[in-house]
Amino acid sequence: MSRQRSSSCSTSMDAPSAEPTRRRTARIGLRLLAAAAAGTVCVCLSTVPAAASDTQPVVSRGVTIPTFYNPPSELPSANGALVRTEPMSLGLSIPGLDGRPMPGTATRLMYKSTDSNGQPVAVTGTYIEPSAAWKKSGPRPLVAMASGTMGQGDQCAPSYSLEHPLTLTGDTMSVGYEALAVYRILATGAAVVLTDYVGLGTTDRLHTYVNRVDEGHALLDAARAARAVPGASVTSSSATGLYGYSQGGGASAAAAELQSSYAPDVPLAGTYAGAPPADLTATMKGIDGSALAGALAWSVNGFAQADPDLRAVVDANISDTGRAALADASTMCVGDALFGYGFTSSKKWTKSGKSLSEVIAADPRAQAALDKQRIGTLKPAGPVRVATGVQDDIVPHAQARQLAVDWCRKGGNVTYDAINLPNLGDKILTNHMVPLITDQGDAISWLTDRLAGEAVTSNCWTMPLQP
């Protein structure tokens, strides 16, 4: 069954009726979100907005989303509590000599979290029990992984990409590029749980792209949920690491800040935050006009859904062309955005011809909404490693470095690593993506040492000497 979904939070931003049918998605109308604010909390269950039917599939850009991703109308009250699980096949897997698949056995999961407005929300993801043994000290640890940017359409969900490493149709293209990091972590003997974030995969709302609270909560609750997965060897005493690059780096950084207040029961041993978008004002300027310009639309869509003040600013300033672009982008994956909106200036999307950054800077309400997303205002829990490419012009190097400075000033145990590579091309993603690969081995090695209980000393004293 196909269902049309709104492409943002208000009816004034719906896609025009002339939009080609193949561009339309079949997600529930986001006006149901208004009902979420009135959700009632019971002794054991919380009411949440639900898809029209738990059993009716949703279609996004020609891809049928499994009904597993349709949230139920009620959720458990505890954050991190499992809603449902099912066995899941990995798209890149081989039989092991002992009969177990390599690199591990995967389980798809849905669990309960709390969004930035304090409302219950269902989140999906994947837990992978590794075939490899953990040979370092202590019980098998867990790495809660936050994916880099995948898109905003449900077919882009990281858990779906682990099962379908390449989704390529006439309407959408998604590549599961995080599989390399996932499999390298599994090879160490650590278990992995990968979150889909709020609204990515689940069919009841838009993905709230780079919303620090939504992402941080979803990642921490994934770690909680992993302990209850049938057959999982990790327990509440398993050392837990957080891992993420780009959008994932922002999510892991946010989770490290929120752990002490939101999830003190998660025994956090270390956090890797690669290329974190800690300052969205600076990051929006980096993305605008770049190959990944479509990510601006994902940001605006997500924040307009979650923040009424920003929604009002968007409604007042976005042109008809901009509304159509936001609607279109709301069901896109990274591949679609690169081809559809690569190198687009956001000036084309506003009534005034000003960039989205200029529009936001001119409105105190909008700027305040972005300021609330700033990472670096709280001391992170446990040791953290911040890595950033000095030539990164998509998630700008300077703002990522500033995150390390801010954490150092708050007394955090910070390992800062500036990745010094030549300029590999302006605004074409190479300066942002190459460090993802070149730093991956060091990042996993550093995190593995933390999971094994090895101490690390902050290198904050080197900050004046590092770019």
- State the pLDDT confidence band at 53, using cuts at 50, 70 and 90: low
| Among 114, 116, 146, residue whose Cα is nearest residue 303 | 116
The stretch 21-33 carries a mean pLDDT of: 35
Within 10 angstroms of residue 430's Cβ, the number of other Cβ atoms is 19
Q: Mean pLDDT of all residues in the chain?
A: 89
pLDDT of residue 383: 98
- Comparing 136-140, 322-326, 412-416, 419-423, the range with the smallest average pLDDT is 136-140
As a whole number of angstroms, the distance between CA 275 and CA 210 comes to 13
As a whole number of angstroms, the distance between CA 250 and CA 257 comes to 11
Three-class DSSP category at 18: coil
Give, in order, the Cα–Cα distances in Å from 195 to each of 80, 109, 148, 413: 11, 9, 11, 25
pLDDT of residue 93: 81
Whether residue 392 has pLDDT greater than 80: yes
For 54, which DSSP code?
Answer: T
Q: How many CA atoms lie within 13 A of 234 on its CB side?
A: 30
Judge contact between 226 and 104, C-beta under 8 A: no
The stretch 443-460 carries a mean pLDDT of: 98
The stretch 411-421 carries a mean pLDDT of: 98
Beta bridge partners of residue 386, listed in sequence order = 273, 416
Whether residue 95 has pLDDT greater than 80: no
| Among 306, 140, 95, 86, residue whose Cα is nearest residue 214 | 306
The pTM (predicted TM-score) of the whole model is 0.90
Whether residue 260 has pLDDT greater than 90: yes
pLDDT of residue 28: 37
As a whole number of angstroms, the distance between CA 129 and CA 456 comes to 27
As a whole number of angstroms, the distance between CA 173 and CA 323 comes to 22
Give, in order, the Cα–Cα distances in Å from 268 to each of 24, 211, 324: 41, 21, 43
- State the pLDDT confidence band at 97, using cuts at 50, 70 and 90: low
Within 10 angstroms of residue 362's Cβ, the number of other Cβ atoms is 13
Q: What does the buried/exposed string (b/e) look like for 106-137 if buried means 16 or more CB atoms within 10 Å of the residue's CB? A: bbbbbbbbbbbeebbbbbbbbbbbbbeebebe
Whether residue 314 has pLDDT greater than 60: yes
- State the pLDDT confidence band at 339, using cuts at 50, 70 and 90: very high
- State the pLDDT confidence band at 195, using cuts at 50, 70 and 90: very high
Judge contact between 151 and 332, C-beta under 8 A: yes
pLDDT of residue 8: 33
As a whole number of angstroms, the distance between CA 145 and CA 148 comes to 10
pLDDT, one tens digit per residue, over 206-217 is 999 999 999 999
pLDDT of residue 331: 97
The stretch 83-108 carries a mean pLDDT of: 87
Query: Exposed (0-12), middle (13-18) or buried (19+): which is 95, by Cβ within 10 Å?
Result: exposed
* High-pLDDT (> 70) share of the chain, %: 87
- State the pLDDT confidence band at 43, using cuts at 50, 70 and 90: very low
Give how far the C-alpha of residue 193 lies from the chain's centroid of Cα atoms, to the nearest Å.
13
- State the pLDDT confidence band at 29, using cuts at 50, 70 and 90: very low
Whether residue 1 has pLDDT greater than 90: no
* High-pLDDT (> 90) share of the chain, %: 82
As a whole number of angstroms, the distance between CA 292 and CA 275 comes to 15
pLDDT of residue 375: 98
Beta strands in 367-413 (DSSP E): 384-389
Beta bridge partners of residue 167, listed in sequence order = 174
pLDDT, one tens digit per residue, over 367-390 is 998 999 999 999 999 999 999 999
pLDDT of residue 98: 66
As a whole number of angstroms, the distance between CA 206 and CA 115 comes to 12
The stretch 285-300 carries a mean pLDDT of: 96
Whether residue 104 has pLDDT greater than 70: yes
As a whole number of angstroms, the distance between CA 453 and CA 441 comes to 19
